[in-house]
Structure formats: structure tokens, C-alpha cells
Amino acid sequence: MLQTQELIWTWLLLGTAVCIQVTVVPSQVDVDVGESKFFSCQVTGGEAKDIFWFSPSGEKISANQQEISIVRNDEVSSTLSIYNVDIDDAGIYKCVVTTEGEGEMEATVNVQIYQKMVFRNAPSPQEFTEGEDAVVVCDVVSVQTPSVMWKHKGRDVVLKKDVRFVVLANNYLQIRGIKKTDEGMYRCEGRIQARGEIAFKDIQVVVNVAPSVRARQTTVNATANLGEAAVLACDADGFPDPEISWTKDGEMIEDDSDKYKFTEDGSEMTIFNIDKSDEGDYTCIAENKAGEQEASILLKVYAKPKITYVENKTAMELEEQITLTCEASGDPTPSITWRMATRNISSDEKTLDGRIVVSSHARVSSLTLNDIQYTDAGEYLCIGSNTIGQDSQAMYLEVQYAPKLQGPVAVYTWEGNAVNITCEVFAYPSAVVSWFRDGQALPSSNYSNIKIYSTPSASFLEVVPDSENDFGNYNCTAVNRIGQESSEFILVPADTPSSPSILKLEPYSSSAKMEFDEPDATGGVPILKYRAEWKVLGEGEWSSRMYDAKEASIENAITIVGLKPETVYAVRLSAINGKGLGEYSPVSEFKTEPVQGEPSAPKLDGQIGEDGKSIRINLIKQDDGGSPIRHYLYTYRAKNALEWSPETRVPSVSNHFTLKSLAWNAEYEVSVIAENLQGKSKPARFTFKTLFEPTAIPAGPSSGSGLGTGAIVGILIIVFVILLVVVDVTCYFLNKCGLLMCIAVNLCGKSGPGAKGKDIEEGKAAFSKDESKEPIVEVRTEEERTPNHDGGNQTEPNETTPLTEPEKAPVEENSKPEDTEAKTTAPEVKTIPNNATQTNENESKA
């Protein structure tokens, strides 16, 4: 029975042992280096007591190692994990299972490990210097040795015909004499035939180019001591961009904001406040990874000329010689020239007459004047010049000389007409001028009609002849400490002009143009006007018209207007000077033309108004075509405008019209047409330009409490009336005159108090005279009574200044022949005390 039970248990154990199985999943695997894998050992058909793992070397693997982990999942399984597989981890791993019967069962897994290609040493970019033999490095690592090929721009470099490209035994790429054009991306490609594996690495090949540098200017010129700056510049090429530095005489120049300044790339260096010590050799150094190169620049510092010595001199006229000296410094040595008022004289030169000689030595030049003349006086300019610039400085030569007199010897006037005898005086030092008549100094009590006044350069003797005795010789004598000079002047009686000559008459229907020759003799004084007279042939009365001599002398022609068509006229012409009306020319005859039809265009002139943007256009009537002018039509436009203004009518009796409110500083064009019954004339054109707009100062804002303009005017009127009353009362009581005095005498029939004393005082005043003060007589005819108060345009008086109006008044147009005698116009006399030299601009009169 016992044996039977043991047999049964044995069969049970055997059956159980046969049914238990051990498997590892997976049983075989290929793992790439660096990957991680896990394997599961599973027991089927029973429970396992222990599950162990053994490495390919046969060692039991303990749990919880760094790269290998074993985990017992449950009673029938265990997991082996391998992290970051390496080549050394390859082999057969075994899983051993023990059961209750102390039997062991096992299963294995074959772990095969391979390595993908790895680029261990293939940096990018790889840099080389142009011209060297470059070797592009690329190390490909794998379990099996890979084959390596190189590609550039998609092509195998071996297939290139360029023998400079060679793949070395270590699979590196060699490029002999590498060029900048070889630069680019190169592909290192590895292949393993057994696995069909391809790996590649793109490597950037950079070719560095050594710098090349060149100076923009190898020599730079600068000028010292003028606060100038010099710029030294060089241009550098290379790859990578080179860094630029500067040295002077081998010493590095640092960036100094006061003396040196560099541009951002260093290619330009500015040297401030150049002086002589900055001169020298400068080096521009360009440097990069591929090397360095330098260029030299010479800074040459020059000195602009400077005049260091001049001296003013004084000489006497007719002195043998005098020398002016000038010294100049500069680098290079300056040449010295002299400039006078009329010419330039260079070194080692002399004038043709030999009076002026210039000689130079080193930095000194001298100008020698021989036989000194008074015209040598003045400014002498010494000019030092070199290639850098020039400097100049003036010196002055004063020449002392005896007086020299000038002026018109013969002066014309007539009795009663004031005239100036001008004695121009040139002297240094200034001379004292005296006038004499028959050995007697002027003015004197015997010559009360003679006055003297002076300017710095002339003395004027004003004479108002009373009789023939006042005509004759007058002596002007000037004296200074060098000597004296006298000159005789003759006062000659003026006469009326001789007759002009009528050369040609050109008649039209209602006018005639007369061409003439001026009189042979003017009578000693200028002609002021011409008088034309005409009448219908056979009739008794002459019509006349005056013509300004200046206007008539432009073409030596005048135009007579207002004539009848197809009529024979007699005409004569005379000239008028300050003395009076001259002789008439012989009578000439002409016949006007028949009615022509349209009138001639008027002549135009104009004057800009005081406001600067208005103008008065004067209409000068021409031939009316035998039919009276009905009116004038004018239009205008801005110079560049397309459209004209609407036509405006001007009556025929008007001799002008005014354009207002024009634009500032604008050019305008005016067109005027004359119209009669027969038609219109051709247009007359006139152009003008308005003034610039003045700068206006805007008025400040008025205060709300300020007085209005009317209130201010009213207050001023009241104050003025009060002042008049006060003055009138004062005059009544003190001088017995004024409005109050007049009322008292006329209404009351009384003389004011003290009237008798007043009469006595007036009588005394009438006979009082200060014999020590001689008056100056200022003469002006009727047309010249307005004195010249424009100091800016005043001219010095001369002997013809007062001769501005004929002694006889001109005969008005259409006057009778017996009215041709001109009326004598009484001159205006202004008396000025002669106790000092007359220099006031408003008091200097001719």
C-alpha cells in the first residue's frame, strides 16, 4: 500500500515536471547602439520558485544595476531591461527557473547589437586660408567599416576634372591651393553595403582671404596753425572683413576724441588742429584671420603765409626815393607781390619808367619808389603766396606836397544870377584857401555880393553879379606848410543861345516830327528847353510849345501835335538857357498829310507809387490820324498770366491812369490802344515790376481801455488851441502883436500898451548889422524852390547849379508873338552866417 502511494506521487511529479515550460520573449533581437530594450521570461505549466538572469559572460545579473534592471513581475514571470545598449552588451542572455522539485529550467535570448554610422569628427564650418592645401575632416564611425564619398554642389568631387580635389586614405577631402571660389557646402556621405545604410554630414567650407590694403592718397597735405583737420584714409579688402589700426612712426595711435577720431570701421582717421609736429609717416594696418597687410601715408604739413612786418611811411614830393619793406613767413617759402591802386608788381620787377623797383630776398621784399610824386600816396598791399594759400597786409605811404588847384577856368552867368566858381584843392597836409580880386581878399565890404563856403576838397566862391564890374578875374590861392599855389578864374557874362537848325520835317495828318541840330553856341550855360512855334501859312498868330532839352536831345527830334490835315504850316525853333530865349531858326514850311484813319499808338511811361504796388501810367499822345482821339483803352496782366484784364476806358483828355493793388515783386505788362472815329491804333506795350514786399512789424494787441483814434485827435486839437491862446496872449503883452492885438486895435481903436516902444525897437533892428558875419546867398528860381533835403543823393555844387531857369519866363502854348518876352522871376534868397565852413548837406547850395 505504501509503495503504491509513493509510485502515485512519483508519477504525479514526473507529470508536473514535464508540463512546466520557460520562454523568453523576444528570443532574438537586433538592437542599435544607444537604444534600450526589455525581455520577459515567462513560466507556463506551473509556478516558479526563483527566476534568475545570466549575462553573456555567464555571470548572474543582480537586480537594480545602473544600466540593467530585473523585476519579478509575479510567480511566473520576470523582466530584464537593458538601457542605452552598447556594443559590449551583445550576446546570449539566459533566464533560469527553479521549481518546487528543485529542478531547473532555462530559456535564452540572443541580443545582437549594431552601430549606426556616427560622425565623430566632422566640424562645420571648417576655415582655411586662400592658397593653402586644405584638408576637410570627416570621421565616420560604425561597427562595419563604411565607405565615404564627398559631394559639392550635388556632384561627386572625384568625378570633377579638377585634380586639386583628392580623397585621402583616411576619407578626408584634400583641396590643393584652395580658392575663394571653392568656398561652399560639402557633403561627407558614408555607406554600409550590408545594411544598405546611408548617413551624411554637410560641412561648410569657409575660405578666408588675407587683407589687401591701399591708401586713398599716399601723400596728404595740410596747413598748420589754422585749426584745420586732416583726414587719412585707406581701403582694405579681405575675408573676413579686416580690422584696421593706425601707427605713426611705429607707435600705435589710440582713439583720442581731442586729437584723433576714427570712423566705425577704422578706415578713416581724422587729425584735428594740425600743427607742424603732426607731420610724418602714418601706417594703416589691415588684419584678419588670414593675415595682415599695411599701407603708408605721408602727412606733409605746410604753413600758410603770414605777413610778419610792414611799416607805414611818409615822404615829400620830389624826394629822391623811399623804400617800403614787407616780411612774410610760411612753408614753403612764400613769394611776395605788391599791389597798388592801378597795378600789381611781382618780385624782381620794375616799371617801364624805372620809378618803381621791387626786389626780394628769402622772406623779405622791398618796393622802392624813385622821384616821389604826390600820386604815389595811398595804400600798398603786400601779398605773400605759396602753394597753400596767401596772406596780405596793407601799408600806407603819405606824400606831403604843396597844393594843386583844378576847376573850370571860365564860368558863365549874368547879372542878378548867382554862380559858383569852383576851386578844387589837392594838398597834404590840408591847405588854407583864400580868394582875391584885384589883390583884395574876399569877401570884403566892397564885395557884399560875394560869399565863400568850403568842402574838404574844394572852395566855392558864390558871386551874384550886380554889374559888369563883377565880371572878370578871380584868384584862388591855397597854402600849406609845404608851399602854395594860385589859379586864376574868369567870370564871363553869359549870352542867350544861338539858333538851332531844322534838318528835317516829317509831316503826318495831325502832327509833324522835326529833326534838328543843337545851337552852335549855348551862351556859356546849358540849354534847358526848346521852343517850337508854328502857324498856318499866311496867318498871323504863332502857336508854341516847350520841350525839355534832355528829352529832345535823345533823338534830336520833337513832335508837334494838334495840326490840321492837308494844311501848310510855317515852323521855327529856338533854344532857351538860363539867360533867356535865344535866336529863332529860319522859318521852314511843311504840309500835313490827308486824314489817315486810325491814330498812332500813344507812348507810355510809368512811375511806381509810394506804396510799392501801384503805378501811374502816363499817356503821351501821338498822331491822331486826322480825327480826334475819342478815348484810350487799356488792359494789363501779370507777365506769365494767360488772360488779360477786362478793357478799361480812359477819356481822351486824361494824360494818365493808375493801376492799384498789384502783387508784390511781380512783373506786369500793360497794353494801351488809342481810338478815334476811324478805328483803333496798334497797341502800345509797357512792362514794369512792383517792389519787394516790405517787412512789416505787426502791431501789438490793443488794450481794451485804450483811447480810440478820434479821442486822441480831439485831445491834440484842444491842446493845440490852448497853446495858441497862451502864445497869443503872451505876444499881446510882450511884443504887442497877435490876434488879440489885432482885435484890440480894430474894435477898440487903441494901440496896445508899449506900441511906441515896439516901433522904436523895429527901427533899431532895421539899421543894426553884424559886420563880422558875412551871409551866404542861396539862389533858387521858381521851379527849383524846393531845397534838396535828401542827404544820400546830394551832390557838390558847381558853377552851373543855380542856372536852372531862364531869366525870361517861357511863352505859353498858343500865346501871341508879343508875349514871347519872358517875365523875370525873382530869385529866392537864403542868408546863412559865414562864421564857419559850410558843410551841412542841406546848406550847401550852388
DSSP β-ladder status, 378-385 and 390-406: antiparallel
- Residue 776 lies inside a defined structural domain of this protein: no
Judge whether 644 and 651 are in contact, CB under 8 Å: no
- Residue 247 lies inside a defined structural domain of this protein: yes
- Residue 356 lies inside a defined structural domain of this protein: yes
CA-to-CA distance for 479 and 434, rounded, in angstroms? 8
Instruction: Return the ∠ at Cα 382 (arms to 381 and 383), rounded to 5°.
Output: 110
62 has which bridge partners? none
Provide the pLDDT for residue 331.
83
756 has a pLDDT exceeding 90: no
Both 486 and 553 in one domain: the answer is no
**Cis previous bond, 500, omega within 30:** no
CA-to-CA distance for 192 and 587, rounded, in angstroms? 138
Provide the pLDDT for residue 63.
74
Q: How confident is the model at residue 399 (pLDDT cuts 50, 70, 90)?
A: very high
Average pLDDT over every residue of 466-471: 90
345 has a pLDDT exceeding 70: yes
What grid cell was written down for 794? Answer: 546830394
Residue, of 226 and 845, whose pLDDT is higher? 226
615: part of which helix (H) or strand (E)?
A: strand 615-620
DSSP β-ladder status, 173-175 and 165-167: antiparallel
Provide the pLDDT for residue 5.
55
Both 295 and 357 in one domain: the answer is no
Phi, psi of 762 (to 5 degrees): -65, -40
Residue, of 809 and 9, whose pLDDT is higher? 9
For the chain, the maximum distance between any two Cα atoms, rounded to a whole number of angstroms, is 208
What grid cell was written down for 228? Answer: 584745420
Arithmetic mean of pLDDT over the chain: 80
Both 122 and 179 in one domain: the answer is yes
Both 110 and 123 in one domain: the answer is no
- For the chain, percent of residues with pLDDT exceeding 90: 35
Give pLDDT tens digits for 300-312: 888 888 899 999 9
DSSP state of 482: S
Residue with cell 584714409: 233
776 has a pLDDT exceeding 60: no
Q: Which of 145, 178, 208 is the last residue of a domain?
A: 208
CA-to-CA distance for 262 and 255, rounded, in angstroms? 7
Residue, of 801 and 341, whose pLDDT is higher? 341
Provide the pLDDT for residue 89.
83
Neighbours of 694 (CB within 10 A): 9
- Residue 756 lies inside a defined structural domain of this protein: no
- For the chain, percent of residues with pLDDT exceeding 70: 81
Both 576 and 647 in one domain: the answer is no
Q: Which of 208, 239, 267 is the last residue of a domain?
A: 208
Average pLDDT over every residue of 347-358: 72
Average pLDDT over every residue of 162-180: 89
CA-to-CA distance for 100 and 84, rounded, in angstroms? 36
Provide the pLDDT for residue 648.
93
Both 110 and 122 in one domain: the answer is no
636 has a pLDDT exceeding 90: yes
Both 519 and 465 in one domain: the answer is no
Average pLDDT over every residue of 327-337: 88
Phi, psi of 758 (to 5 degrees): -65, -45
511 has a pLDDT exceeding 70: yes
142 has a pLDDT exceeding 50: yes
Judge whether 301 and 324 are in contact, CB under 8 Å: no
Provide the pLDDT for residue 789.
35
Judge whether 693 and 666 are in contact, CB under 8 Å: no
What grid cell was written down for 594? Answer: 490827308
> Of 368, 335, 366, whose CA–CA distance to 351 is shortest?
368
Provide the pLDDT for residue 707.
57
Q: How confident is the model at residue 159 (pLDDT cuts 50, 70, 90)?
A: confident
Q: How confident is the model at residue 794 (pLDDT cuts 50, 70, 90)?
A: very low
Q: How confident is the model at residue 686 (pLDDT cuts 50, 70, 90)?
A: very high
Both 516 and 566 in one domain: the answer is yes
CA-to-CA distance for 736 and 616, rounded, in angstroms? 51
Both 670 and 626 in one domain: the answer is yes
Q: Is 636 helix (H, G, I), strand (E, B) or coil?
A: strand
Average pLDDT over every residue of 662-666: 91
DSSP string covering 125-158, please? SEEEETTS-EEE--EEE-SSPPEEEEEETTEEGG
Q: Is 31 helix (H, G, I), strand (E, B) or coil?
A: strand
> Cβ contacts of residue 370 below 8 Å, gap of 6+?
320, 321, 354, 355, 356, 357
**Cis previous bond, 599, omega within 30:** no
CA-to-CA distance for 706 and 712, rounded, in angstroms? 10
Provide the pLDDT for residue 26.
87
327 has which bridge partners? 309, 364
CATH number where 42 lies: 2.60.40.10
> Of 306, 381, 368, whose CA–CA distance to 338 is shortest?
381
Q: How confident is the model at residue 6 (pLDDT cuts 50, 70, 90)?
A: low
Q: Is 793 helix (H, G, I), strand (E, B) or coil?
A: helix
Average pLDDT over every residue of 458-469: 92
Residue, of 511 and 839, whose pLDDT is higher? 511
- Residue 333 lies inside a defined structural domain of this protein: yes
Both 322 and 395 in one domain: the answer is yes
- Write the single-letter amino acid at 32: D
Q: Which of 565, 591, 617 is the last residue of a domain?
A: 591
Residue, of 348 and 540, whose pLDDT is higher? 540
- Write the single-letter amino acid at 653: V
Q: How confident is the model at residue 489 (pLDDT cuts 50, 70, 90)?
A: very high
144 has a pLDDT exceeding 80: no
Both 225 and 202 in one domain: the answer is no
- Residue 823 lies inside a defined structural domain of this protein: no
Of 48-62, 392-406, 543-557, 698-712, which gets the smallest average pLDDT?
A: 698-712
773 has a pLDDT exceeding 60: no
Provide the pLDDT for residue 708.
64
Provide the pLDDT for residue 748.
54
615 has a pLDDT exceeding 80: yes
Average pLDDT over every residue of 836-840: 35
278 has a pLDDT exceeding 70: yes
Judge whether 569 and 532 are in contact, CB under 8 Å: no
- Residue 785 lies inside a defined structural domain of this protein: no
**Size of the chain in residues:** 846
Both 109 and 64 in one domain: the answer is yes
Domain that holds residue 654: 603-689
Residue, of 766 and 798, whose pLDDT is higher? 798
What interhelical angle do 709-734 and 739-748 show, nearest 10?
60
What grid cell was written down for 5? Answer: 502511494
Judge whether 244 and 266 are in contact, CB under 8 Å: yes
- Residue 463 lies inside a defined structural domain of this protein: yes
Number of domains in the chain: 7
Judge whether 306 and 328 are in contact, CB under 8 Å: yes
